[in-house]
Each structure stands twice: as structure tokens, then as C-alpha cells.
A = this chain, B = another copy of it.
Amino acid sequence: MYNYMKRNSRLSVALHVLLHMAEQADKALTSDVLASWAATNPVVIRRTFAGLRDAGIVGSTKGHGGGWTLLKPLDAVSLADIQAALDEPLLALGKAEESPGCLVELAVNAALDDAVAEARRLLDERLSKITLADLAAQIGPRRVVLQAAGCKDPHHEP
């Protein structure tokens, strides 16, 4: 009966962690390590990354030395890919189905759905043009600059 816009910290968390992973490429990293980067819980990481694994963006291995690894080069993964891999989100504006027979409600929903769908298309198109490599490129240089200026690396480990 109601329409909710879903929350979204998933995308933010996923991007954050993926970029940090890129800095330690090829090492299998445990959920605990990733969780500490995102200041969250290992289980949350496993839940969030399940979608990314299904999409082939990351892989996971069990047992000793196991963990998560990036499977694709940074420039082959767009923000839209990640967004799509995380089950459901951004710009949802579910339809209210109260008064199911009401013509007014139908017209209102149709108009709103159209407008939101178009906005969502635009957003998706935008996100599909930004890759993890783009974000990494923004970060790399600045970190060097900051470190040269005497700032310590603003990472998360103790």
C-alpha cells in the first residue's frame, strides 16, 4: 500500500571496499579485513558482495588463505555494473496501490512512473560511463600529494 524509496549504503560501501581492494590486488582478502575498511560487519560484506560475485566482478574462496579477489580489471567495471549487481536500489519509487480502482491514482502513478523511469535511465547511463579505474585515477595522485605534504595516509587500520 505504501511506496518506499529504498535505502542505499550498499553501493557506497561496495565502491569504497572495491577501490581499497584494488590497491592490494591479487591478494585474497577476508571479509573481516574488508569490513574494517568500511567500518561494518563481515556478514554485511558477504551479503553485499554476494551479488558482485554472481556478476563475476569478484570471486570468493573458502578455507586457509581464502577470501575475496577482484576478477576484472578496474576499467572493465562501471558503477552501473556494480549498481546492477547489488540486488535492488537507486531511484526506486514503488507504486502506491492503494485505491486500486481509482482513476486519479492511476493517472498520478503513470505520470510519476514515467518521470522517474526517465531519471533512472539517465542516472544509469551516467554511472555506466564511470569505471572503477576513473575513481582510482582521482585518488592515486592526491594521495601522493598529501603524503608529500606530511599528512599520514588516511586509512582505516589502527
Contact = CB atoms under 8 A, between A and B. Distances in A.
Chain A, interface residues (CB within 8 Å), range = 35 or more
A19 interface: yes
A139 to B, nearest CB: 5
| Shortest 7 CB-CB contacts between residues of A and residues of B | A101-B154, A5-B5, A119-B123, A115-B126, A15-B108, A119-B119, A107-B138
B108 A19 contact: yes
Contact of A39 (B5, B99, B134): B99
Contact of A139 (B4, B98, B107, B119): B107
B3 A8 contact: yes
Given A99-B39, A123-B115, A108 B12 contact: yes
A84 interface: no
Contact of A111 (B108, B119, B120, B130): B130
Interface in A102-124: 102-105, 107-112, 114-116, 118-120, 122-123
